[in-house]
Amino acid sequence: MLSYDIVDVFTDRPFAGNPLAVVRGATDLTTSQLQALASEFNLSETAFPTTSTDQDRADGFSYRVRIFTPASEIPFAGHPSIGTAWVLRHHDLIRAGSVTQHCQAGAVTLSVPPEAADPIELEAAPRGVSHPIAAGPVLRAVGLSEHDAQGMVRVSGCGLDFVFLRVAPSALQRAVPAVSPLAAIVPAPGADPIGGVSVYAVESADQPPLRIRARVFCPDVGVLEDPATGAAALGLGPVLVADGALPGSGGSYVIGQGVEMGRPSVLHCRVEAADMVATRCFVAGRVTPVAAGRIRIPPEV
């Protein structure tokens, strides 16, 4: 039997935010066994951390983690990274302070506070922003028209790319999960796969932080709609800088997500930039525990 925790990420209350299963003790399981566990939980993501080895510590890693959706493994995701750090700290497997997580996309840094109720901040390096691309196919994929678009469509990410589509605030309610594979509509511009499409609207730009509402659809990885997407929140920062919604030196923004799903989430973000090019991206959120238990080890396929 394996031990697991279920936590809600990017919220300060249970049954909101984005639920995450964190399974401990799965180091020796095969990929097919890990995928079977993720499919059994059937949450947007399930994380499988391992505590650091001597070699990991020599390489500067606090722990490693593999992240799965119900359909496939993904190289990086924000809410599993933040939730995993919270669970490991809760079980005294890591200390408060700066920790380095290793996932398929590489190393990311998290700032873990001493108090469990305080937000954990994830820091990642941007991998670049695409040139503006045609909005029409993306709009049609999420059930919207060209009249709903505001601004340009770009692809951006910090280990997992997202398509970013800015729309009028009134269009968010009418958006639907993409019905076509996003990889066929917008080929990945770099080495990172496309995790989904972020349909977002700027609600308030009068004073910092910039206020954003977003919906994120990830049908290609088995998640029709995600209530809180840390990787997309990170990738949005470089887009906001490139499009002039944030200053060329960067700035802060707050994303409200998951409202249409009945799971409201709050993601506190900031981006550092120079000459309108992002250099570091940050997303922070609170974590709330909701369940813990034991689960059988699935048979090897």
Phi/psi at 261 (nearest 5 deg)? -95, -5
Cα distances from 107 to residues 8, 45, 76, in angstroms, run 23, 19, 10
* 207 vs 25: which has the higher pLDDT: 25
With residue 242 as reference, give the H or E element that holds it.
helix 230-242
| Res. 190 pLDDT band, cuts 50 70 90 | confident
Q: What is the pLDDT of residues 119-141, one digit of tens each?
A: 999 999 999 899 999 999 999 99
Distance CA(57)–CA(89), nearest Å, equals: 17
Rg value, the chain, Cα: 18
Q: What angle do CA 189, 35, 20 make, to 5 degrees?
A: 80
Percentage of residues in the chain with pLDDT exceeding 90?
A: 85
Cα distances from 296 to residues 2, 39, 292, in angstroms, run 6, 13, 14
Distance CA(210)–CA(170), nearest Å, equals: 18
- With the C-alpha atoms ordered 276, 279, 283, 284, is the resulting torsion angle positive or negative? negative
Phi/psi at 236 (nearest 5 deg)? -70, -30
Nearest to 154 by CA among 242, 91, 230, 29: 242
DSSP state of 248: T
pLDDT at 53: 83
- Given CATH 3.10.310.10, say whether it is the number of domain 136-284: yes
Q: What is the CATH number of domain 2-123+287-295?
A: 3.10.310.10
pLDDT at 295: 98
Greatest C-alpha distance within the chain: 57
In the chain, which segments carry CATH 3.10.310.10? 2-123+287-295, 136-284
Q: What does the pLDDT average to over 180-191? A: 73
- One-letter amino acid at 55 equals Q
Kindly give the interhelix angle for 78-90 and 230-242, rounded to the nearest 10 degrees.
130
| Res. 65 pLDDT band, cuts 50 70 90 | very high
Could you identify the residue written with the tokens 């932080």?
A: 209
| Res. 192 pLDDT band, cuts 50 70 90 | confident
Distance CA(110)–CA(294), nearest Å, equals: 27
pTM: 0.94
Helix (H, G, I), strand (E, B), or coil: what is residue 83?
Answer: helix
With residue 238 as reference, give the H or E element that holds it.
helix 230-242
Q: Which residues contact 226 (CB under 8 A, 6 or more apart)?
A: 18, 44, 196, 216, 217, 218, 232, 257, 258
* pLDDT of 283 higher than 90: yes
* pLDDT of 164 higher than 80: yes
Helix and strand element counts for the chain (H, E): 6, 17
Distance CA(57)–CA(99), nearest Å, equals: 11
Q: What is the pLDDT of residues 72-116, one digit of tens each?
A: 999 999 999 999 999 999 999 999 999 999 999 999 999 999 999
pLDDT at 188: 66
* pLDDT of 264 higher than 90: yes
pLDDT at 54: 86
Q: What is the pLDDT of residues 138-159, one digit of tens each?
A: 999 999 999 999 988 999 999 9
Task: Return the number of other C-beta atoms located less than 10 Å from residue 245's C-beta.
Answer: 17
